Amino acid sequence: MNVEARAPRAWVRERARTAARWYGRSMEALALDPLEAELRRAGATFGRDHDRVISLSYGSVAGEIAVAERAVGLADRNDLSVLAVTGSAGRVAESVQRTAGRRPEPNETWAAAGVWWHALSDERVLAIADWRATQRLHHAFHAPSPGLRVGADLVDVSDDYKVLTLIGPRAPKLLRTVGLENVPDAGTASETTIAGERALVLHESDAAFLLVTAGPGAVETWKLLRDQGRPLGIGFVGAQALARLGVSERARARRHA
CATH of the domain at 203: 3.30.1360.120
- Are both 87 and 47 inside the same structural domain? no
1 lies in some domain:
no
Query: Highest-confidence range of 92-96, 148-152, 228-232, 251-255, by mean pLDDT?
Result: 228-232
Confidence at residue 34, expressed as pLDDT on a 0 to 100 scale = 79
17: enclosing H helix or E strand: helix 10-23
Please tell me whether residues 76 and 172 are part of one structural domain. yes
Q: Report, as an integer, the average pLDDT of 167-188.
A: 93
**Cβ(95)–Cβ(85) under 8 Å?**
yes
Q: What is the pLDDT of residue 110?
A: 93
- 5 domain-assigned: no
Grouping H, G, I as helix, E, B as strand and the rest as coil, residue 149 is coil
**How large is the average pLDDT for residues 6-10?**
43
pTM confidence score = 0.82
N-term to C-term CA, the chain: 25
More confident residue, 141 or 3: 141
Whether residue 94 is found in the same domain as residue 191: no
CA dihedral 239, 73, 198, 194 (to 10 degrees): -150
pLDDT tens column, 40-84: 999 999 998 887 889 999 999 999 999 999 999 999 999 999 999
Same domain (yes/no): 64, 179: yes
Alpha carbon of residue 209 to chain centroid:
10
Q: What average pLDDT does the segment 240-249 reach?
A: 83
* Domain annotation covers residue 36: yes
Q: Are 144 and 196 in contact (CB under 8 A)?
A: no
**What is the total count of domains within the chain?**
2
pLDDT at 144: 59
Q: Do residue 69 and residue 100 come from a single domain?
A: no
The whole-chain average pLDDT of the chain stands at: 83
If asked whether residues 189 and 63 sit together in one domain, one would say yes
* pLDDT (0 to 100) of residue 55: 94
For residues 133 and 113, membership in a common domain is answered with yes
Do 57 and 179 belong together in one domain? yes
Residue 168 lies in a domain: yes
- Domain end position, chosen among 143, 158, 173: 158
Instruction: Return all residues near 137 (Cβ < 8 A) that are at least 6 apart.
Output: 83, 99, 115, 127, 129, 154
The per-residue pLDDT for 51 is 78
Q: What share of the chain is helix, strand, coil (3-state, %, to 5)?
A: 40, 30, 30
Last residue of a domain, one of 104, 127, 158: 158
171 and 244 share one domain: yes
How large is the average pLDDT for residues 7-30? 42
Whether 102 has a pLDDT exceeding 70, the answer reads yes
Question: Is 206 found in the same domain as 243?
Answer: yes
Is residue 131 domain-resident?
A: yes
Domain boundary among 103, 135, 158: 158
**Is 4 inside any structural domain?**
no
Asked, for residue 2, whether it belongs to a domain, the answer is no
| Residue 215 located in a structural domain | yes
Clarify whether residues 235 and 187 are in a common domain.
Answer: yes
Tell me which residue range forms the domain holding 153: 83-158
180 and 230 share one domain? yes
In this prediction, residue 224 has a pLDDT band, given cuts at 50, 70 and 90, of: very high
